[in-house]
Structure 1
């Protein structure tokens, strides 16, 4: 197979990090031929550093002029739907940032279009590919803590957005907030590990500014087998903690701050669990390359994105509870 001709739409923090840290690992497999960014200063700086990559300010022009195999979409969530559908209409494989869309209806139409076009469609869900998550899944399968009885999901931040991720939309109620940006990762991981979330009861506290994202959130998410997940989230914590604590009838496992694994007889006795770096299956783009080459790969597609979107929408809109 010749190199996978790839373009990226959006050069924010995620877009530039994806290109710099991940795309660069596969020079023999993929070629970044073009990028699109509406901020002309950002685009100019990228062009100066990457003179061999063609630049655009309009994604429609890029899609019209470039012959692409793969499009990476890193624009704000409200733009995912239109950009992804335009790419799928041209039979281009799509790698989209999470969340998949800005509504459940948009997510469904994107999924349907991708399936009908028979293109590879992937969402940038990465948590199940962490070495700690792989080890966690193995321990659960082995019955290390017996039968799972309850789960705590903790999303605590001293401020939102965090200092490194500020942009014009990430603190907006429309398409930002910690539930959308961070919670979606954990929703996806939970449904991969434990099966579907069937019911959501939530209470979300918003500031007086009608355009601003949530301050606090409390929720009970009930799995298909009636196991409850207690979610607590806040932007007023002393320090950041993004963790899941799994209680079983024979012990406790915690995935702390994304990827560190702990286990013990009780939560108070948790001890670090070593993980094998060989279990690490990241980056996601490596998995997509394998899929495009017809090889076995672990990717999470638009159906994963749609299923996670359903829970996210129920969390953010407390009147919607039954999934």
Structure 2
């Protein structure tokens, strides 16, 4: 039997997941909902046979698994409603924007004891698995730390323009949307991180999200993670994480491209897939099916997502001490 799935939130990520759920043999999309008619119309163009329901609650009741692709602030309400109805839940990241609210949500979701995971898209991907294996085998030597570098000509990026909330300080920004992925990846390799300091820069319009951010974090072993993000200038997008070892280093670009250096130029370890995003999403959905069946899986846990959120919100606030960011 397939997993009856509802989607709440039909923006960019909701529609993307709808398209891939429709192709996956383990899922049947039984309900979709968004308060915006334009988003609903766009989703129905992708999946004409999808059942558009009149409310979030109707979507929850029509499924065994609820995928929440709405903006961060309303996710808590929908997640707790789904959990109270005994549904499995797949949350988009970030977990939220208010740490206290997210802590409360995590505690309450755990009490319901339903399957829950958060969609950090690299969790089930080949790059994280291969680098994790290489680290365990000693192929990288002693780990030195990591560098996270993002540069964008504009934010939101061209393909994100319809998600207007991404440009606002209250819920959006590159740190929550992209740097969070690489913090999650770094913690899977280096263990929990502590924020030492951060310096965000914001436009004069205080409603808008950060344009630049720099930060330094450390692992329990003293490995340093350096973060640099900037927006502006005529340039191609750059988004990369480098896991640095004494013998070799691995660089993940654009989430999927895995390359290695032993001191010289980085060289690709694999040929690019024709559609790397599709490969990544299928891997996530494969592991989501394992989660729903109560089996071991590689998806991000609530605790991992909360740790990342604590780091991100401290980074965005401008952080100069080691308090709060050490535990979730």
TM value normalised by structure 2: 0.89
The aligned counterpart of 2:168 is: 172
Task: List per-residue Cα deviations over 1:111-167 (Å, max 9, x = no partner).
Answer: 112211110001011213222222222222222231122321101111111000112
Q: Residue 77 of structure 1 is aligned with which of 72, 87, 96?
A: 72
In 1, distance between residues paired with 2:144 and 2:114? 39
Task: List per-residue Cα deviations over 1:214-250 (Å, max 9, x = no partner).
Answer: 1111111111111111111001252211112233223
In 2, distance between residues paired with 1:236 and 1:124? 28
The aligned counterpart of 1:7 is: 6
Q: Residue 25 of structure 1 is aligned with which of 11, 23, 26?
A: 23
Residues 285-296 of structure 1 mapped to structure 2, 5 A cutoff? 285-296=285-296
The aligned counterpart of 2:137 is: 142
Q: Per-residue deviation at 1:290?
A: 2.1
* Change over 3 Å in CA distance of 1:233–1:35 after alignment to 2: same
- Count of residue pairs brought into register by the alignment: 316
The aligned counterpart of 2:52 is: 55
Q: Residue 152 of structure 1 is aligned with which of 144, 147, 150?
A: 147
The aligned counterpart of 1:243 is: 240
Q: Per-residue deviation at 1:280?
A: 6.9
The aligned counterpart of 2:117 is: 122
* Change over 3 Å in CA distance of 1:176–1:320 after alignment to 2: farther
TM value normalised by structure 1: 0.90
Q: Per-residue deviation at 1:271?
A: 2.2
Q: Per-residue deviation at 1:47?
A: 4.2
The aligned counterpart of 1:195 is: 191
In 1, distance between residues paired with 2:149 and 2:13? 23
The aligned counterpart of 1:209 is: 205
Contact 1:135 1:275 (C-alpha < 8 Å) held by counterparts: no
* Change over 3 Å in CA distance of 1:144–1:58 after alignment to 2: same
Q: Per-residue deviation at 1:272?
A: 2.2
* Change over 3 Å in CA distance of 1:214–1:290 after alignment to 2: same
Which consecutive segments of 4 or more residues in structure 1 shift more than 6 A? none
* Change over 3 Å in CA distance of 1:276–1:297 after alignment to 2: farther
Task: List per-residue Cα deviations over 1:159-204 (Å, max 9, x = no partner).
Answer: 1110001122001101111001001111111111110002331000
In 2, distance between residues paired with 1:132 and 1:117? 33
Question: For structure 2, which runs of at least 5 residues remain unmatched after alignment?
Answer: 274-278
Q: Per-residue deviation at 1:52?
A: 4.1
In 1, distance between residues paired with 2:251 and 2:40? 42
In 2, distance between residues paired with 1:236 and 1:312? 21
SS in 1 for 2:123: helix
Question: For structure 1, which runs of at least 5 residues remain unmatched after alignment?
Answer: none
* Change over 3 Å in CA distance of 1:221–1:93 after alignment to 2: same
